[in-house]
């Protein structure tokens, strides 16, 4: 073995060595429908004004670590209740990592629990932090299997339960009563993170329930709202709890350009909200068109993506790829998702291109 191979064998954790990196395909020249991005950009006048604001950003200094102005804008525009602060992250991916790094169990190896299939970063962040990950299978209709959830909570006493609301990759909202039951069952032994990444589309939230549940953390991102490029996530929770997570947050994790851009765009959040409305309307149209295709099972979605089952997901993805349309094959993610694909809802033109490509891929002679 070479020096570098030996070095890696000596110092890199075995579980990391055997892991693949989070794959992000090169999408240049493709219709990109694999990452739940908002296809719309800001109108020209706002872009011009944003350019002026960014030109004034103070790049030679570190950001002001308290992020007071940005936090105030987030709290004021995005519905954080009075008396609750937010913690900002470089995307909610970083917040998930901060949560995983901060928790422990006083009695046993701590566990993070989530219904599966779930957003992949829950399990990865648990692993990186040296915690167990407990995945509890969803019911066949993708609702929470409450009997299994409660049994797993009693057995593993997870330090954290992640519930994506709506869930990625299934797109559905879990029942409010089920989430309430989980918050109560976990009690003071664990934190329940309601991950509302797709809240701009679902328009359902636990944000106004924070006072009722002291173990509730509501996590969100501006990524799906139309600002994936700036990388900004936030979470709201009881101030004492946030203060603990704050100790783990890297001091300048949100950069000055993100700060300036977010402060500006949040002054015009109505523009992004209107885009989300358009996407919701498109989701309903696209779902109906997909449901009419022979051999296709469409799962109801409250997010800006649709998951569906097709006769042969690998062949469909391959054919769409040849037509320069990039979607996500979910088949390998979980046994429940065999032959499932996920597509981001986009502009009418891009949705049509996807539909056309899918129809062609599904033809028996294709
Ligand atoms: C449920 C869920 N949470 C969090 C994220 C991460 O979002 P961010 O772009 O803020 O890191 C995603 C991204 O797809 C997601 O689906």
Cβ proximity of 154 and 289 under 8 Å: no
Residues with CB under 6 Å of ligand 1 are 36, 91-93, 119, 164, 168, 195, 197, 221, 223, 228, 233
Three-class secondary structure of residue 160 per DSSP: strand
pLDDT tens across 225-261, in order?
999 999 999 999 999 999 999 999 999 999 999 999 9
Ligand 1 centre from 2 Cα, in Å? Answer: 39
| Three-state secondary-structure class, residue 31 | strand
Best residue for ligand 1 mutational test, from 24, 93, 301 (most atoms within 8 Å of Cβ): 93
Give, using CA atoms, the residue closest to atom 3 of ligand 1: 197
Give the pLDDT score at 54: 97
* Three-state DSSP class for residue 131: coil
Which pLDDT tens digit goes with each residue over 175-204? 999 999 999 999 999 999 999 999 999 999
* pLDDT in the model for residue 366: 62
Sequence-distant (6+) residues with CB within 8 A of 352 are none
Q: What is the mean pLDDT of residues 115-134?
A: 96
| Ligand 1 centroid – CA 253 distance (Å) | 17
Given a cut of 70, whether residue 119 has pLDDT beyond it is yes
- The answer to whether the CB of 242 falls within 8 A of the CB of 202 is no
Q: Which of 206, 207, 145 is nearest to 170 (CA)?
A: 145
What mean pLDDT do residues 76-97 have? 96
Rg (CA), the chain: 21
For residue range 342-352, list pLDDT tens digits in order.
999 999 999 99
Q: How confident is the model at residue 26 (pLDDT cuts 50, 70, 90)?
A: confident
Query: Which has more pLDDT, 21 or 271?
Result: 271
220-238 burial, b if ≥16 CB within 10 A, otherwise e? bbbbbbbbbebbbbbbbbb
Indicate the pLDDT class of residue 360, thresholds 50, 70 and 90. Answer: very high
State mean pLDDT over 70-93: 95
- Bridge-based pairing of strands 340-344 and 305-309 is antiparallel
Question: 221 CA distance to ligand 1 centroid (A)?
Answer: 7
């Amino acid at each position: 073995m070479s020096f570098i191979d030996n070095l890696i064998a000596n110092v890199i954790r075995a579980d990391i060595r055997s892991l693949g990196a989070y794959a992000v395909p090169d999408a240049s020249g493709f219709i990109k429908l694999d990452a739940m991005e908002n296809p719309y950009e800001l109108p020209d006048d706002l872009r011009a004004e944003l350019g002026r604001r960014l030109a004034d950003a103070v790049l030679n200094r570190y950001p002001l670590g308290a992020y007071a102005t940005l936090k105030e804008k987030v709290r004021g525009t995005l519905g954080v209740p009075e008396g609750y602060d937010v913690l900002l992250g470089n995307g909610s991916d970083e917040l998930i990592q901060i949560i995983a790094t901060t928790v422990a169990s006083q009695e046993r190896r701590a566990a993070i629990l989530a219904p599966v299939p779930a957003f992949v970063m829950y399990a990865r962040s648990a692993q990186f932090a040296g915690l167990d990950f407990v995945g509890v299978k969803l019911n066949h209709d993708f609702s929470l299997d409450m009997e299994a959830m409660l049994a797993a909570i009693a057995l593993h006493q997870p330090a954290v339960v992640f519930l994506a609301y709506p869930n990625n990759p299934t797109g559905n909202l879990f029942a409010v009563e089920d989430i309430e039951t989980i918050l109560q069952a976990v009690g003071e032994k664990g934190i329940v993170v309601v991950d509302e990444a797709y809240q701009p589309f679902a328009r359902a939230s636990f944000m106004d329930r924070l006072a009722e549940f002291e173990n509730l953390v509501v996590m969100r991102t501006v990524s799906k709202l139309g600002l994936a490029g700036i990388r900004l996530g936030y979470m709201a929770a009881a101030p004492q709890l946030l203060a603990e997570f704050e100790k783990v947050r890297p001091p300048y994790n949100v950069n000055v350009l993100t700060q300036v851009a977010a402060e500006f765009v949040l002054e015009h959040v109505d523009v992004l909200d209107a885009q989300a409305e358009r996407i919701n309307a498109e989701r309903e149209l696209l779902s109906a068109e997909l449901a009419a295709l022979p051999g296709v099972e469409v799962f109801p979605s409250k997010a800006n993506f649709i998951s569906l089952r097709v006769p042969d997901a690998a062949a469909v993805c391959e054919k769409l790829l040849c037509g320069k349309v990039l979607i996500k094959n979910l088949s390998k993610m979980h046994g429940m998702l065999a032959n499932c694909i996920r597509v981001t809802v986009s502009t009418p033109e891009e949705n049509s291109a996807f539909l056309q490509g899918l129809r062609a891929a599904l033809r028996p002679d294709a």
